[in-house]
Amino acid sequence: MPTVGLGLWKISNETVASQIYQAIKVGYRLFDGACDYGNEVEAGQGIRRAIDEGLVKRSDLFITSKLWSTYHAREHVKPALQRTLSDMGLDYLDLYIVHFPFALKYVPFDLKYPPQTDDGHGNQNTRANVPFQETWEAMEAVYNEGLVKNIGISNIGGAMLYDLLSYAKVKPAVLQIELHPYLVRNQLVALAHSEGIAITAYSSFGDASYQELGFKADSPSFKPLLKHDIIAEIAKAHEKSPAQVLLRWAVERGCAVIPKSSNVDRLRQNLDIFGFSLSDDEVVRINELDKNFILNDPAKWINISIWAN
Model pLDDT for residues 13-47, shown as the tens digit of each residue: 999 999 999 999 999 999 999 999 999 999 999 99
CA angle 192, 135, 110 (to 5 degrees): 130
For the chain, what is the mean pLDDT? Answer: 96
pLDDT at 160 over 90: yes
pLDDT in tens, 115-132: 999 999 999 999 999 999
pLDDT in tens, 203-259: 999 988 787 777 666 667 789 999 999 999 999 999 999 999 999 999 999 999 999
Hey, which residues are catalytic here?
Answer: 37
- What per-residue confidence (pLDDT) applies to 303? 94
Averaged over 74-96, what is the pLDDT?
98
> Distance between CA atoms of 85 and 144, rounded to whole angstroms?
16
| CB-side neighbour CA atoms (13 Å) of 65 | 29
Averaged over 76-87, what is the pLDDT?
98
- What per-residue confidence (pLDDT) applies to 222? 85
DSSP codes, 131-158: -HHHHHHHHHHHHHTTSBS-EEEES--H
Q: Where are the alpha helices (DSSP H) in 242-292?
A: 242-251, 264-271, 280-287
> Distance between CA atoms of 254 and 234, rounded to whole angstroms?
20
- What per-residue confidence (pLDDT) applies to 211? 74
- Report yes or no: 104 and 125 within 8 Å, Cβ to Cβ: yes
pLDDT in tens, 90-118: 999 999 999 999 999 999 999 999 999 99
Share of the chain above pLDDT 90, in %: 93
Entry field: residues in the chain:
309
pLDDT in tens, 126-149: 999 999 999 999 999 999 999 999
- What per-residue confidence (pLDDT) applies to 216? 66
Q: For 200, left (φ over 0), alpha (ψ -120 to 50), or beta? A: beta
Q: Where are the alpha helices (DSSP H) in the chain?
A: 16-26, 40-52, 74-88, 132-144, 158-167, 186-194, 229-238, 242-251, 264-271, 280-287, 298-301
- What per-residue confidence (pLDDT) applies to 287? 98
